[in-house]
Every structure is written in structure tokens, then in C-alpha cells.
């Protein structure tokens, strides 16, 4: 998806901080949709806590930016995706901001039929850096895609979570 083609969100923010933050997140997910996770990673604090539900190669908890970078790399290799941001709620001041984002992920792994997965991401941002991220998706769809990749000989799809 092209950043310029992103549909308008349901909310209008007049607060410059919230506008800037929303634009950075939107740009990050547009870049991530093209395999570039660096824009999102720049928004993370060094001691970020990231959590994804499930029991698979992409699940688990990470407690550092370095581990999250390894997770992003694995995600891009295994489940190349295009993200559509459906809605984003930004609440609080720069010292403690909560971002709740609704998204649809169109996933196109090699050798696996393309599928859509709807999700919610809740993040805490402090002074422009994300300190906590919890990602909620249909883990059954993720596990099914990873199982198919494993059957197709992609060993990393069956690897333990990066923690």
C-alpha cells in the first residue's frame, strides 16, 4: 500500500503532537508494508516491551529494541504483509500517550494462500518513544500460515519465539 493511498481515518486531531505521532505511525506501517521496518523501529525505546499472543515463531514477549528488531526481521521474512490502518485513537499527553490502532493485515507468505487478519495494537508512547506494545490478532490464522510454511520446508516458521 502506498502511504499516499491510505484511506482517511475516522478521527480528526487538532493537537499538533497527536497529528505528528499519527503521521509517524502511518508512515511506519506504510514502510513496513513494503518490507521496511526501520521507520517503525525508530519509534521504539531501547527498553521497549512488545508482546504478541500465541504459541508460534512470532509470539512471545520481547524486552528490548534489539529483540524487537530481530522479531521485525523474522516477520518480514515469514509473513510479508500489507497493512490497512482502519482507525487510530491517540489519548494523553507526550509524557504518557496511549495509542490504540485497528488494522487489517493482508498476508502473502510464499507458498501459502494470501489471507487477511484483523487486529488491534495497543501502545504506550512516552516523549515520542514507544515503551509498550501489545498486538492482538487472530493467532489461529498466523499459526496455520506458519504450519504451512514449516510443511513447505521453511524451518524458521517452526522456530521458538524471539524473547
Fold observed for domain 3-158: Nuclear Transport Factor 2; Chain: A, (3.10.450)
Q: All 3 cell numbers of residue 6?
A: 491510505
Residue-level pLDDT at 2: 45
Q: Which residue has the higher pLDDT, 6 or 144?
A: 144
Q: How much is the average pLDDT of 29-38?
A: 97
The band of 33, judged by pLDDT with boundaries at 50, 70 and 90, is very high
User: How many other C-beta atoms lie within 10 A of the C-beta of residue 47?
Assistant: 11
Residue-level pLDDT at 9: 66
The band of 14, judged by pLDDT with boundaries at 50, 70 and 90, is confident
Residue-level pLDDT at 23: 93
Residue-level pLDDT at 1: 40
Residue-level pLDDT at 13: 81
> Which pLDDT tens digit goes with each residue over 128-163?
999 999 999 999 999 999 999 999 999 999 999 999
> Which pLDDT tens digit goes with each residue over 36-62?
999 999 999 999 999 999 999 999 999
Q: How much is the average pLDDT of 73-93?
A: 96
Residue 63: is its pLDDT beyond 90? yes
Indicate the average pLDDT of the chain. Answer: 94
Q: How much is the average pLDDT of 116-128?
A: 97
Burial of 163 (0-12, 13-18, 19+ CB in 10 A): exposed
Reported as half-sphere exposure (CB side, CA atoms, 13 A), residue 154 has a value of: 18
pTM: 0.92
**Extents of the domains making up the chain:** 3-158
Buried-exposed string 18-35: b where 16+ CB fall within 10 A, e elsewhere: beebbebbbebbbbbbee
* Spatial contact of 88 and 123, defined as CB atoms under 8 Å apart: no
Measure the CA–CA gap between 90 and 118, rounded to whole angstroms.
Answer: 19
Residue 6: is its pLDDT beyond 60? no
Measure the CA–CA gap between 104 and 86, rounded to whole angstroms.
Answer: 7
Amino acid at each position: 500500500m502506498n502511504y499516499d493511498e491510505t484511506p482517511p481515518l475516522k478521527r480528526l486531531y487538532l493537537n499538533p503532537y497527536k497529528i505528528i505521532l499519527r503521521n509517524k505511525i502511518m508512515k511506519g506501517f506504510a514502510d513496513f508494508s513494503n518490507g521496511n521496518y526501520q521507520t517503525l523501529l525508530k519509534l521504539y525505546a531501547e527498553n521497549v516491551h512488545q508482546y504478541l499472543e500465541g504459541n508460534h515463531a512470532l509470539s512471545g514477549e520481547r524486552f528490548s529494541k534489539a529483540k524487537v528488531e530481530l522479531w521485525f526481521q523474522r516477520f518480514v521474512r515469514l509473513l510479508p504483509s500489507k497493512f490497512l490502518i482502519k482507525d487510530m485513537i491517540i489519548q494523553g499527553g507526550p509524557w504518557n500517550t496511549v495509542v490504540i490502532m485497528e488494522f487489517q493485515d493482508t498476508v502473502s507468505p510464499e507458498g501459502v494462500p494470501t489471507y487477511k487478519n484483523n487486529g488491534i495494537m495497543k501502545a504506550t508512547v512516552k516523549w515520542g518513544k514507544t515503551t509498550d506494545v501489545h498486538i492482538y490478532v487472530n493467532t489461529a490464522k498466523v499459526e496455520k500460515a506458519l504450519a504451512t510454511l514449516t510443511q513447505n520446508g521453511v524451518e524458521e516458521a517452526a522456530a521458538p519465539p524471539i524473547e
